[in-house]
Chain A
Amino acid sequence: MKKLLVLLLLAVVGYSLITAMMGVKFGENRLGDPQDEKTVSAYYLNNTTQKLSVSNVITAIVVNYRGLDTLGEVSVLFLASLGLGSILYRKHKEGEEEVAILKPSSQLLQAGSKLIFPAILMLGAYVFIHGHLTPGGGFQGGAIIATGFLLMMMAYQDYRVSHSVLVWVESLAGITFAGIGMWGLLLGNTFLENFLPIGTLNNLFSGGIIPIIYIAVGFKVAAELTGVLDTLLNIKDKH
């Protein structure tokens, strides 16, 4: 009976989604002529290269046009890692022994991860430093760095990331982001207004404050995701 109801609901939802998507042709040009800027996307595509001198339009949207959104998003990530820690917190009881849950990993994994780990860190750093020139940016680079730490945590069971270092990195990155935004406010512009010279297109040092903010976001995301993984991997539980 319940299954029947659910299938009916799914049919209704599917029908309405399909009829809605019938009106949206795949691959149709909905931007209009870029020159007369009828849509906001056309405005972004037209103006990023001249006004911000950033090659990657998505970076320009995420960091500059919708910069406040990104600030909110990194705070959501921070709240998630905080909430995770407080949900999984558990008092250490008297006489409780910590039992090693996993078998030690093989020597191949240990040697290999030691070899790959610096390369993964460097790839992550490359991705977020070049966020305004090539595909990539703070979120992607941070996630790549977190996977590097994950590899080390899986290979070595006693590998610990110092939580105080994570907290410091995260706080400094957050303060950098908010402080740069406030600096624009102090100069009499809006929040997150660009105040640095924008340089020439397709140079590493171009785009004004955008690369600095994306590097800060990269550090913040890497610290947060590593903190989440460290909390989850070190759950002390019976088994």
Chain B
Amino acid sequence: MDLDYNQIMSIGVYGSAIGLILIGLYAVLIKKHLTKIVIGLSIIDAGIHLLFIAIGYIKGGTAPIFSPAGEKIVANGGVMVDPVPQALVLTAIVIGFAVTAVALSLVIRLYRHHQTARIDQIKSLKW
């Protein structure tokens, strides 16, 4: 075990982000139940958010907030993490919720009409 701190962190964080993306993609492609597909989409969403935040992180940095404590750290030569990916992810999470809600309302509507939410049992084309 001669892994140093950076390698462990990159395996842990990047690995879980890429793993989440792949697992979500698997669910979207393989699963037949519509709710499961939306679950897969939200898992992909989570993985991409984690990847963004991980790219913006700087080792030993503090949160980009200039409170008195943060100012003291910067004055002593400390760094702050990249604020731009955080702002992007902040809005992406809210939009992700809106997209999930609309997708699930479509699922409810489909179920009402076809009495099933499995895409392999929806036979008729019109609704």
Contact = CB atoms under 8 A, between A and B. Distances in A.
Nearest to A87: B105
A25 B7 CA distance: 9
Nearest to A56: B65
With most chain B CB atoms within 10 A of its CB, the pick from A17, A25, A70 is A17
A57 B55 contact: no
B58 interface: yes
Contacts of B95: 73, 76-77
Contact of B91 (A9, A62, A80): A62
Interface of A: 2-3, 6, 9-10, 13-14, 17-18, 21, 24-31, 34, 40-41, 44-45, 48-49, 55-58, 61-62, 66, 69-70, 73, 76-77, 80-81, 83-84, 87-88, 133-135, 137, 139, 143, 201-202, 221, 225, 228, 232, 235, 237
A14 B22 contact: yes
A84 B82 contact: no
Given A2-B30, A62-B90, 20 more contacts: A6-B29, A6-B30, A14-B22, A21-B18, A25-B10, A26-B9, A26-B14, A27-B6, A27-B60, A30-B58, A41-B83, A45-B64, A49-B66, A56-B66, A57-B65, A58-B65, A70-B91, A87-B102, A87-B109, A135-B63
B21 A26 contact: no
Contacts, number: 138
Given A18-B18, A27-B59, A88-B109, A6 B6 contact: no
Contacts of A228: 98, 101
22 contacts: A6-B30, A21-B14, A21-B18, A27-B10, A27-B57, A29-B58, A30-B82, A41-B82, A44-B83, A45-B80, A56-B65, A58-B83, A77-B98, A80-B101, A83-B105, A84-B101, A87-B102, A88-B105, A88-B108, A134-B67, A228-B101, A235-B108
A73 B91 CA distance: 7
B116 interface: no
Contact of A135 (B65, B66, B79, B105): B65
Q: Interface residues of B: mostly helix, strand, loop or mixed?
A: helix
